[in-house]
Amino acid sequence: MQRILVTGGAGFIGSHLCKRLLDEGNEVLCLDNFSTGSRRNIRPFLAHPNFGLITHDITVPISLEVDRIYHLASPASPVRYQHQPVMTVRTNVQGSLTALDLARATGATILQASTSEIYGDPEVHPQTESYWGRVNPIGPRSCYDEGKRCAETLFFDYRRQYGIPIKVARIFNTYGPHMEADDGRVVSNFIVQALAGDDITLYGDGSQTRSFCYVADMVEGLVKLMATPESFTGPVNLGNPHEVTMRELAASIIRLTGSRSRLTFLPLPQDDPKRRCPDIALAKRELGWEPRIPFEEGLAATIAHFKKEGRD
């Protein structure tokens, strides 16, 4: 048994990670201030003898004894991080400093949940870890993009200056149960609109692409990365290399929900990437990892989650 801290543990990916770590027999501490996480996501664990909830803002220093830290605390949906951009930067920068100082004090290995957004609107396709990205430093998405880029800088500087063991995962679009209906992510948006029979909103002409990884596969990748030798730090891309256009995604969701929704089109938001797809050769080689869940199987499970949420 290890004592593992998951910051942002009540969030979408964080709550699935907490369950996985508990199922493996670990003691899990979930730290969250619930600015974007949900108590509903962790309610099934509250009575578990190896689960502890710490209601705390990660930007404020904290003292704990832990063996490993998964640092996931950050707003992740465009709607939420653009609504509170200063808080988003503060969480990613000061929150990372707090987590890193804790790792330094305890000797814990710490994993940073970074993002594909560090590549911005990429000129290289698919994106490899060696690509430095094309990010607008002063645009409406910069609070998240540059916040995550600075967090990566801090992780590697702590590694160089203090020798702490770090892991950095660059997470591409992830979907599955526990997504919030109003988080502004494309999968949840389309499902909610389709279930309500509303028009499905696409931006631009709908030809822009994303690659979607089911949350169980993503959690598997994070756990495998944490288990690698200390010499392997990453960054490593975690995502599904299968590209899907927004039109294709909408068509799949309409079919799986049996909806009669129609497509409507709005202008493309500023700095919205036209293509996004990971090169996962490094993850395959170093982690022995690649996504396993077929896209439509994952979509069906996600749709079932939203249907259940609508009934509860």
Tell me the catalytic residues: 144
Token pair listed for 132: 């430095």
Report the DSSP beta bridge partners of residue 55: 32
Q: How far lies 219's CA from each of 25, 39, 256, in Å? A: 16, 19, 25
The residue type at 38 = S
Q: Are 276 and 173 in contact (CB under 8 A)?
A: yes
Are 9 and 15 within 8 A, CB to CB?
A: yes
Query: What is the identity of the amino acid at 124?
Result: V
